[in-house]
Structure 1
Amino acid sequence: MNTEFKKNSFFAGGKAVYYAVALLVGGAVGIINPLVTAHMTVKNTGNVWIGIVSSSYFIFLSVGAVIINNKMKGRDVRNIIVAGLCIAALCTFLFPFVHNTVVWLLLMCFTGIGISFNMVGIQAALHSSSPDDSRSAVSGMYSLLFASGFVISSVTGSLIYARLAWAAFAAGGIYLIAAVALIRLGLKEVHTIPAGAGEKVFSKIFTALCGSFAYGFSETTLVSLYPLFLLKQGYSVDAMGYALGIFVIGCITGIVPVTRMSDRMGRSRCLFIIILASFAAIFGIVMLDNFILRMAFSFIAGFALGPVYPLSLAMSVQDLPHSEISSGTAMFTFSYGIGSAAGPFLSSLLMNALGNNHIFTLSFVLFAAFLVLMALTRGLKQGVRSAQEKEEDSEFSDFYINSPQGGIENEK
């Protein structure tokens, strides 16, 4: 049976299966990303190569989004997702058995492409099957489960790796294979995304793409460099772990309530508020030299920053017809991947040049620019709406004056 997605409830239409897949893929990524760096360090790989291989995942996350953009329209989304998961699973299984940096680089590139196929496919499927007034909540549930899987496997993966290195990577591969089985067994119908031109999608979602870039840039900077920042401030390794854990808990805690609230109060307004809160929280992390206060601001930063991804994702498709949703999600993933790759690299260069307190300077600049862009966009939309209303009033007045009744009253 071949059916296009229909608008349905929060869990209906296969959404529950996609949420479960998000949990499993998040678990796999929570093993792959941290352990790739750890494994290469154990194998005495140089820092330059470690940085290149780690960044290649995010770069090819963006490349995968470009590849899949036009391939997905009019096709069965399940096949796209399954192909990506199988590619990533194979690369994950192979990684610990390879001892060549170039091959490691190739494996991470293909892993990024595979995960990208999955992300774009699932996000397009979820938003195509959701009414606009629930897309933030749907994005929030997807992000919550992905993040939960990531956090759990980050801990368990390290424990497994300490005992048997290849088994940890095998666990990540098994998560991905389990996701493939879940899609094949749980989704019986053929799910297609309508084909369409989508030529002007970029201009329609430019603001949301900027939000995606800023989120990817800031989140990976915080996750990658915040521990280093704390260590150089004289904190212990345990304290570093607490700070990062509290940030992640804040992310998970904030996603669902903020995204559900945004469907009621307006996504742009809600996003503006939480960006301001993120701005203030990150400023507090850098400027306050008190461990308890830094932990409090770490939680606030996570609570505010976590929902930025699902909110921006929902904004990227809210004004698009179904035929352009796949293009919108592909562009969103591309922007997120580029921001994630650029954040740690550029921020570390600034820290080396100006000092450790400039860890989030570029993030501040991006957030400030994004807030200005949102304000200008909102003002422009209100101006256009006001002009349209005046034009409609003018047309009505002309019609009334030229009508028989209007002419009689004017004569009086």
Structure 2
Amino acid sequence: MDTAAVHDSKNSTLVPVLGLSFFAVASGFLMSLIPLSLTSFGLDKTLVPWLASIFYLGLLIGATSVERVISKIGHRAAFVAFLCLLIASIIIMLLLAIESVWLGARFIAGMAVAGVFVVVESWLLMANNAKARAKRLGLYMTSLYGGSALGQLAIGPLGTDGVTPYLYIIGLLMLAVLPPLLIKSGQPEKKAQQKMRINEIKKLSRPAIIGCLISGLLLGPIYGLMPSYITAQDAQVQHTGILMACIVLGGMLVQPLVSYLSTRMSKSLLMAMFSLLGTLAVVGILESQPLLLIGVSYLVLGAASFALYPIAITLACETLPMAKIVSATEIMLLSYSVGSVLGPLFATKLTQSSNGILYYLGGIMLTSCLYMLIKSIEKLESGHKPVAGL
């Protein structure tokens, strides 16, 4: 009997995608709300990069332990547990508006979000062929970024002051808990999970690991610092929510293209192409004057930035058996988290320019483009090496 096929037939996408959609709206709103709401809680704005970095530190630490939780209680129960932990972290922040408490709460939130990501990614990636995995991951990314874009738009109508916006976020997260809580079928089997050994980790694609790292170096500052950057621009301050939504909407709209191209061309070359596109988008933001062109540039920046992670993770998992998927997604998230921890700190420390975050993003994009291009050329050349003795 083909156990992979049986395993795959029991693995439904309904629960993870439905729960993820509500989570994404709440998370998208929360990520932009936190840096904009600090003053209303009497907290200093210098806390912004530290809150972003400690969240991603939590993401990093959480990524090292999710596999054990899933193995013990299964995907569905783990999904519920991590969402509840995220809700608890927000409640703690509302009860105690103290810098140390907020830093601790965001660390806990990072661990919870790591759990959500690994649970949903591994749940959807447990398909028995590369094409199905790419399609499912495209569905995951579309739900994640579409929900996040919708969450950015809540900044305008719900505001950024006081407790009320956070209560809406808690309500959305409670809705996200309902699908895995009420629908008990369709999860992958607990006993199928296996931890990757050190020698297996060493064999994972280097461009895949670097791609996840670069994704973190980009998305950490985009989520943590970009709202503050936009509000500091006189011509853009009234459109913060819309422009942040453009970034995430670009990430959503590009996913079908990523899913289509990732099975038809070199993934290293594909990451190089999107990195070049991101570099051009940064130039567009710096040089454009009309708000429409600025919005389009943010849209393209989002498309390029959010395209790298799904390409990298499918590259890492394309030859792995389903039993290794949870462990592999943990490793990829770990790499992403390292970048996400360092990104906000690098973006604020490397330059004091008012456009420092854009110079930083452009530099990372250009470096990524060159690296991935070199790797794709090396792979092409290795595939055409003559066989010895012929």
Instruction: Give the TM-score taking structure 2 as reference length.
Output: 0.86
Paired position in structure 1 for 2:351: 351
Identity %: 18
Paired position in structure 2 for 1:204: 204
Counterpart of 1:177 (choices 174, 177, 180) is 174
More off after superposition, 115-124 vs 304-313: 304-313
Counterpart of 1:381 (choices 357, 379, 382) is 379
Question: Which amino acid in structure 1 is aligned with residue 324 of structure 2?
Answer: E
Task: Give 1:85-104 correspondences, 5 Å limit.
Answer: 85-104=83-102
CA shift in 2, pair 1:67/1:141, >3 Å: same
CA contact under 8 A between 2:152 and 2:245: conserved in structure 1? no
Paired position in structure 2 for 1:243: 243
- Cα distance per residue 1:185-216 (max 9 Å; x no partner): 22425522422443232541331222122222
Task: Give 1:65-104 correspondences, 5 Å limit.
Answer: 65-73=63-71, 76-104=74-102
CA contact under 8 A between 1:92 and 1:170: conserved in structure 2? no
Unaligned residue ranges in structure 1 (runs of 5+): 398-412
CA shift in 2, pair 1:18/1:297, >3 Å: same
Paired position in structure 2 for 1:360: 358
CA shift in 2, pair 1:190/1:300, >3 Å: closer
CA contact under 8 A between 1:198 and 1:327: conserved in structure 2? no
Partner of 2:197, secondary structure, is coil
Deviation at 1:64, TM superposition (A): 0.3
CA shift in 2, pair 1:297/1:269, >3 Å: same
Paired position in structure 2 for 1:406: none
- For the residues of structure 1 that align with 2:299 and 2:97, how far apart are their CA atoms? 39
CA shift in 2, pair 1:81/1:245, >3 Å: closer
More off after superposition, 296-305 vs 274-283: 296-305
Paired position in structure 1 for 2:56: 58
- For the residues of structure 2 that align with 1:31 and 1:357, how far apart are their CA atoms? 24
More off after superposition, 229-238 vs 336-345: 229-238
Determine if the alignment matches structure 1 residue 138 to structure 2 residue 136.
yes
- For the residues of structure 2 that align with 1:240 and 1:172, how far apart are their CA atoms? 19
Task: Give 1:103-122 correspondences, 5 Å limit.
Answer: 103-122=101-120
Partner of 2:154, secondary structure, is helix
- For the residues of structure 2 that align with 1:172 and 1:296, how far apart are their CA atoms? 28
Instruction: Give the TM-score taking structure 1 as reference length.
Output: 0.81
- For the residues of structure 2 that align with 1:240 and 1:53, how far apart are their CA atoms? 20
Deviation at 1:262, TM superposition (A): 2.5
CA shift in 2, pair 1:78/1:205, >3 Å: farther
- For the residues of structure 2 that align with 1:148 and 1:281, how far apart are their CA atoms? 20
CA contact under 8 A between 1:81 and 1:118: conserved in structure 2? yes
CA shift in 2, pair 1:130/1:90, >3 Å: farther
CA contact under 8 A between 1:90 and 1:173: conserved in structure 2? no
- For the residues of structure 2 that align with 1:279 and 1:365, how far apart are their CA atoms? 8
Determine if the alignment matches structure 1 residue 339 to structure 2 residue 339.
yes
Deviation at 1:247, TM superposition (A): 2.9
- For the residues of structure 2 that align with 1:34 and 1:317, how far apart are their CA atoms? 31
Deviation at 1:316, TM superposition (A): 2.3
Partner of 2:311, secondary structure, is helix
Determine if the alignment matches structure 1 residue 156 to structure 2 residue 145.
no
Question: Which amino acid in structure 1 is aligned with residue 131 of structure 2?
Answer: D
CA contact under 8 A between 1:74 and 1:195: conserved in structure 2? no
Question: Which amino acid in structure 1 is aligned with residue 286 of structure 2?
Answer: V
CA shift in 2, pair 1:69/1:384, >3 Å: farther
Larger Rg: 1
- For the residues of structure 2 that align with 1:309 and 1:178, how far apart are their CA atoms? 27
- For the residues of structure 2 that align with 1:313 and 1:330, how far apart are their CA atoms? 10
Paired position in structure 2 for 1:401: none
Deviation at 1:20, TM superposition (A): 1.0
CA shift in 2, pair 1:266/1:185, >3 Å: farther
Unaligned residue ranges in structure 2 (runs of 5+): none
Question: Which amino acid in structure 2 is aligned with residue 174 of structure 1?
Answer: G
CA shift in 2, pair 1:65/1:225, >3 Å: closer
